[in-house]
Amino acid sequence: KAGVTQTPRYLIKTRGQQVTLSCSPISGHRSVSWYQQTPGQGLQFLFEYFSETQRNKGNFPGRFSGRQFSNSRSEMNVSTLELGDSALYLCASSWGGEIQEFFGPGTRLTVL
């Protein structure tokens, strides 16, 4: 069974731009969560989607948003990029968001 896939794997943007990241969960998984990983803050939860609905949200500004499609694929968007948004963005999928999650390879975002 194929794992979680994320595209693109690497991105370089400049301050003020916006970016969209994509995540395809494991087949049959309906929950997709997004995390940000930085050396200083570690892994932090952004939000979770299930059946196209956001069920949970972490403590990030409104510049961070997401959505989920009917095939469970998810996208996250970051608008008005700041230098501090440089991070590894990880997507994780699970059956229903309540048990174990499996991570994709991540998207490395660099903001210049």
Q: Helices (H) and strands (E) in the chain — how many of each?
A: 0, 11
Centroid of chain to Cα 5: 11
**Cβ at position 75, least distance to another protein in Å:** 16
**How far apart are the C-alpha atoms of 73 and 13, rounded to whole Å?**
23
Query: Whose Cβ is closer to another protein: residue 18's or residue 102's?
Result: 102
Interactions with another protein, residue window 7-36 (CB under 8 A): 31-33, 35
76 near another protein, rule: CB under 8 A: no
Task: For CA atoms 93, 94, 95, 97, give the dihedral sign.
Answer: negative
Q: Which of 1, 10, 42, 70 binds another protein (CB under 8 A)?
A: 42
Which residues of this chain interact with another protein, rule CB under 8 A?
Answer: 31-33, 35, 42-45, 47-50, 55-56, 58, 88, 90, 92, 94, 97-106
